[in-house]
Structure 1
Amino acid sequence: MFENYLQLAQIALVVCPSYVVFGYNQAGLGGLLNFPSWTEQFPAIDTANTVGHEKSHHSTVQGAIVASFTLGALFGSLSCVWIGDYLGRKRTIFLGACVSIVGQVLELSAHSLLQFTIGRVIIGVGVGLLSATVPVWLSECSSADKRGRNVVLTGLFIALGFAISEWVNFGFYHIQDSAASWRGSLSVPLLFSSVIICSIPFLPESPRWLVRKNEITAAKQALAALKQKPVDSDEIIAEVAGIEMSLEDHKEVSLKDLFVMGEDKLFYRFALCMLLQFFQQMSGGTLISVYIPIIFEKNLNLGPSTGKILASAAMTWKFLSCFVCFFSIDRIGRRVAFMISGAGMSLCMTAMAVSNSFGSDNHSASIASGFFIFLFNFFLPIGFLGANFLYTTEVAPASLRVAMQAISTANHWLWMFAVAMMTPVAFNDIGYRYYIVYAVIAGMIAPTVYFFYPETTGQNLEDLDLIFREAPSIRDVVRLSKKPRVRSESTHTSDYKAQLEHIDLVEC
């Protein structure tokens, strides 16, 4: 499954804890909002024991507190535009884990809403650094045929974080009258952040980043360790030479070039990344992940205990569903995965709108809504719980990979902030109609991907760069990317360029 124990260590000791921290902090707070000790500590965001105008006001404040994490993550992701290439992948990951620990300590020790919010924002900054850097690091350290499975593990670990948070919240909920209930729940991510800090110094840096910094000897050593080959083997020498050649083919670029098409089609590639992260958030993923306990308990009128059990079961099912993507992403391809996922989510959101329109007192409609929540959690991971982070690292050019990943990930957090902020108010004001928004946006995914998104499965990162640069138009990028041209890692980029030119001539 993995090429060697070093790659397994990367995934187990850095990728897993990074994204468990991501998922746990994103979803964990939603399950605490009706804890008796929580509402006693923070009455300003109590929506369980208030009505009318007061409840509406508290809903707005509650949404802002929940969303403050994503606002911090947005700034954390954006900061990688400037520090990501300067510090390198490993040091940025180390920094992200340290920042998240500071925020977690502030959050779980809070006695005021202000301290809690500051801690939550700081956690977000740390998670933003991790979410913008870890996929790039793992993608640049993986071979073409393993890259898809390796990077989509990020989604599996996010779902694991969701599931852990719901089960932990369910357990601590029974400590009714003590602040230890919610403080204990919020302390769990400290363990995972600590694992990252202790592990990352001993793992290899990205060979591609080392080549960019002209540290060729270190790049060969890192690549040799990752592939378990001798440093002076032909495969290692050829791949490092291919990376160097790809970098030499590019002139110096800056952030403003992201908004210019040019021969490298940078604006097109940037738009692909931004739109994909928009789809990920506005198709309902955050809505279900963060507010699923509230949906079961209040919207479907199932009560606290039953609601928390169902929320925990739904998140566990979501985690298990991630294995479908893990085993299929390099077989069916990125495009098919996105289209299946989008169509399925649109169907589920439409069904949620219909079933919720009958009201929370209709038992049959509540059962139907619960079923479609579970079904949604099956479709989401197929394309939009890991593959979206993978794809942005693949279509970005080497010289702007961190910047493009950082900005598109910040866009991911921006829309997550919007969803977290407006959901309590939307549920209170428009009810079931809120699901229609997500149904329409998710329904746009399949046609958009079909016409505009090139296939990246099995392609070396340098080869993908060449397709964008050499294809005469956007339509040709999509068309040429679907040709089965998987090559070995040792093939020179110049040889592949000749293959591309030959295919283009034949099709013309």
Structure 2
Amino acid sequence: MLDRALGFGGSKKWGVPSPHPSPYGDLWVRGVNLERRFEALLKSSILSHMNMSPFRGHKLSVAQIALIVAPSFILFGYNQAGVGGLLSLPDWTKTFPEIDTSHTTGTVKSHNATIQGVVVATFVLGALTGALSCMYTGDIFGRRKNIFTAAALTLIGEILCSSSYALPQFMIGRTIIGLGTGVLSATVPVWQAECSSAANRGKHVVLDGLFITLGYTLESWINLGASQIKGSNQEASWRMPLAIPISFSIILMSCVFLMPESPRWLIKVGRVEEARVNLSKLKDVTLDNSILAAEIEGIQYALEGSTVKKASMADMFTMGPEKLFYRFCLCIMLQFYQQMSGSNLISVYAPVIFQQNLKLDSQTSRILAGGTLTWKFLSSFVAFFTIDRFGRRALFMFSGVGMGSCMLALAVSTSFPTDNKSASIASVFFIFMFNFFVPIGFLGANFLYCAEIAPVKLRVSMASISTANHWLWNFVVVMATPVAIANIGSHYFILFAAISYCIPLSVYFFFPETMGQSLEQIDAVFRDNNSPLAIVKASKLLSRGDIQNIISEKNQDITKHVEEAKINREKDSV
């Protein structure tokens, strides 16, 4: 009936005049026009896949950073440190007496401290689980849907925590926030790396660390300010800080589908035309641009292996021509270094170090802790301006030497009696210096590097496991530090110094350079070279644009193999 009313009669194809004219006159013409408009709109919608962003090129990159990257990693930093500054507030201990260690003694205090440790750990365990879940969801649903789901989880968790009147509700909320944060930490760097050009990829992804530190800094100063709330409104002294990140979750959920989906993921799942549209917007070129066509072909070539044999988790533990296990080990090692160099130790436990080791009062300790995190945030800009100039390897090695030296100096300065004013000043100085070196190499660059060296068919899986490894060692540090500081004191810092000094050695011999190379070129460096030393050497030449030397070396290798084969044939004939 509707077809006949619009003038389409019995024809199944819209726009073909009906053999039975419609009694509604020129309504048929309107129907044809409406159908054509609908068809054009539908085609446009399919191609863009809900990518309604009005931006292109550089403006689109800025929008991605401001609306997705910034909220994601501010949530990461803010929520990770969100409880530490609240534990001694009067209304907090009144609401949650089960974790009150400020007004208890003896076995009760010990029991409450254990429960407090479990409460703090729920976030980390949730984040670990969230990161691991991306192994299965990352390539099924795509990057944007994963980010939206993660933002929704953080929103639910933040509402539960800020409205809690009982500890179980608070713990459930922290676990859900952790789940969302884990998904964000594993997905957003991959999405960034896959959407960024080789020239600016380092700058874009290293911003992750800057925003993590901004989250830490905001949490520290907001908690300090809220702690001054007195009288009948004391409840707001801890509910308000827990509710503030809700705004970042809402921004993230509102904006993620305005951004383009990863072109590399779209090509992987066979949606090449959508990938072409998104890549043209990211590069600000027309759809028929030759550079765009070349990049699409390069991505398809890199994916050829996965079209023949579907990638599986087990592939990460095999070498083969793609050196997957080697790449996997690099990702695991880098995230291990990030935590076991002491980064999280100083960020989370700076107030404890100031108060217990240096015997400073609570207010002074809070102010100094906020100051160290603000300094760490400002120091993050060093990596932003240097990572695409000096390369990833140089920053990792410089950061490792600096962190190791500061930890060693801190072990010495904190070993003096607490009434030694000079030693206390030196300790504060080295904590500030440590927070200068950390963000240069290990607060953003580590997430970037793992996304860069992983092949596209296993990029999300490798990023998920390496990020889960980050959260695993985070959990170890969180649980071990209070006990270690209480029992071995300054000797604890020697462990982190030793691990930090291992960084420059391992990076020099095993970590290839990725600066200035497309993700497909990085993939080719691993495939075309047989040993770690050869991979590192080729990557350094490629990052300098020294293509001729690479070709020359390859030709020499081929000539050498031909000569050896010729000699062997002559020997066999004799």
Amino acid corresponding to residue 155 of structure 2 in structure 1: I
Q: Quick check: 478-487 or 19-28, which moved more? A: 478-487
Identity of aligned residues (%): 53
Amino acid corresponding to residue 196 of structure 2 in structure 1: S
Deviations 1:167-196 (A, max 9, x none): 101101112461210111111111111110
Max Rg structure: 2
The 1:67/1:385 distance shift into structure 2, 3 A limit, reads same
Q: Quick check: 38-47 or 280-289, which moved more? A: 38-47
Aligned partner of 2:328 among 270, 277, 281: 270
2:518 is equivalent to residue 444 of structure 1: no
The offset of 1:475, in angstroms, is 1.6
Q: Quick check: 55-64 or 24-33, which moved more? A: 55-64
2:151 counterpart residue number: 97
2:210 counterpart residue number: 156
The 1:57/1:351 distance shift into structure 2, 3 A limit, reads farther
The offset of 1:486, in angstroms, is 5.8
1:382 counterpart residue number: 440
Please give the TM-score of this superposition, normalised by the length of structure 1. 0.95
2:250 is equivalent to residue 200 of structure 1: no
2:480 counterpart residue number: 422
2:395 is equivalent to residue 345 of structure 1: no
Amino acid corresponding to residue 98 of structure 1 in structure 2: A
1:335 counterpart residue number: 393
* Aligned residues between the structures: 499
Give distance in 1, aligned partners of 2:67 and 2:433.
31
CA contact (8 A) 2:541 2:550 kept: no
CA contact (8 A) 1:63 1:424 kept: no
Give distance in 2, aligned partners of 1:430 and 1:141.
47
Give distance in 2, aligned partners of 1:296 and 1:373.
10
- Spell out the pairing of 1:1-400 with structure 2 (5 A cutoff): 3-176=57-230, 178-250=234-306, 251-400=309-458
CA contact (8 A) 1:17 1:193 kept: yes
The offset of 1:48, in angstroms, is 2.8
Amino acid corresponding to residue 287 of structure 1 in structure 2: L
CA RMSD of aligned residues (A): 1.8
CA contact (8 A) 2:341 2:497 kept: yes
Amino acid corresponding to residue 203 of structure 1 in structure 2: M
Amino acid corresponding to residue 14 of structure 1 in structure 2: I
The 1:351/1:3 distance shift into structure 2, 3 A limit, reads farther
1:431 counterpart residue number: 489
Give distance in 1, aligned partners of 2:293 and 2:264.
13
CA contact (8 A) 2:157 2:174 kept: yes
Aligned partner of 1:464 among 501, 508, 522: 522
Give distance in 2, aligned partners of 1:199 and 1:473.
44
Q: Which runs of 5+ in 2 are unaligned?
A: 1-55, 561-574
The offset of 1:354, in angstroms, is 1.3
1:491 counterpart residue number: none
Give distance in 2, aligned partners of 1:132 and 1:4.
24
The 1:62/1:360 distance shift into structure 2, 3 A limit, reads farther
The offset of 1:428, in angstroms, is 2.2
2:555 is equivalent to residue 505 of structure 1: yes
Q: Which has the higher contact order (CA 8 A, sep 6+)?
A: 1
Please give the TM-score of this superposition, normalised by the length of structure 2. 0.84
CA contact (8 A) 1:107 1:115 kept: yes
Amino acid corresponding to residue 430 of structure 1 in structure 2: I
CA contact (8 A) 1:333 1:456 kept: yes
Amino acid corresponding to residue 102 of structure 2 in structure 1: A
The 1:176/1:304 distance shift into structure 2, 3 A limit, reads farther
Aligned partner of 2:469 among 407, 411, 419: 411
2:35 counterpart residue number: none
The 1:359/1:387 distance shift into structure 2, 3 A limit, reads same
Q: Which runs of 5+ in 1 are unaligned?
A: 489-495
The offset of 1:280, in angstroms, is 0.2
The offset of 1:77, in angstroms, is 0.5
Amino acid corresponding to residue 391 of structure 1 in structure 2: Y
Give distance in 1, aligned partners of 2:323 and 2:82.
40
The offset of 1:35, in angstroms, is 1.7
Amino acid corresponding to residue 352 of structure 1 in structure 2: L
The 1:446/1:255 distance shift into structure 2, 3 A limit, reads same
